[in-house]
Amino acid sequence: MENNNAAKFAANSKALKELSRTLPIELGAIGVREFVGNFTKQGYSGAPWKEVQRRTPGTKAYKYPKTKGLQRRTTPILIGAGYRKRGGTLRRAVNGSTKETSLSRVVWSVDLPYAKAQNDGTDKIPARPFMGFSKELIQKLDDKVNQRIKQALSATT
């Protein structure tokens, strides 16, 4: 009996140790998928981003575009090529935004100088949040933690 309990304890200990190594990485990936998905949804936590002037009829940016062609009116917000730039820089930076994963915390960060202004907004730039904790993200993270703990403990019984 004592040998059986010791074996179960050893198996549980090994499973939880493995979980403590892999779970933070999985949580980091869930966050990145959520943040990159906000670019596809063109919004955050169910609320769409404010429309850009280049696509709003009657505005100066719509009437007098910086570049020619209709692409400026169809290119997604925060993904488009912009003026003389390669597009998608911010989204690519968000895709690699997991900076630290440990059992005690997961850190996501984007090092582009304009990322904070786009996410939080400024006097001249409306807030178009793409990173942050939303109810949906917290629920996904909680679900993953609960699922992985149950898997780890059930595999050893």
State how far the Cα of 38 lies from the Cα of 131, in Å rounded to an integer.
8
Q: Which tokens is 98 given?
A: 């997991």
pLDDT band at 107 (very low <50, low <70, confident <90, very high): very high
Side chain identity at 72, as an amino acid letter?
R
For residue 26, which amino acid is it? E
pLDDT at 38 over 70: yes
pLDDT in tens, 127-138: 999 999 999 999
Domain ranges in the chain? 2-50+87-154
> What is the sign of the dihedral through the CA atoms of 24, 99, 119 and 91?
negative
**pLDDT at position 51:** 87
pLDDT tier at 148, thresholds 50, 70, 90: very high
- What are the beta bridge partners of residue 44? 47
DSSP 122-143: -SSS-----SS--HHHHHHHHH
Q: Is there a contact between 16 and 148 (Cβ–Cβ < 8 Å)?
A: no
Residue with tokens 């109810």: 135
Total count of residues recorded for the chain: 157
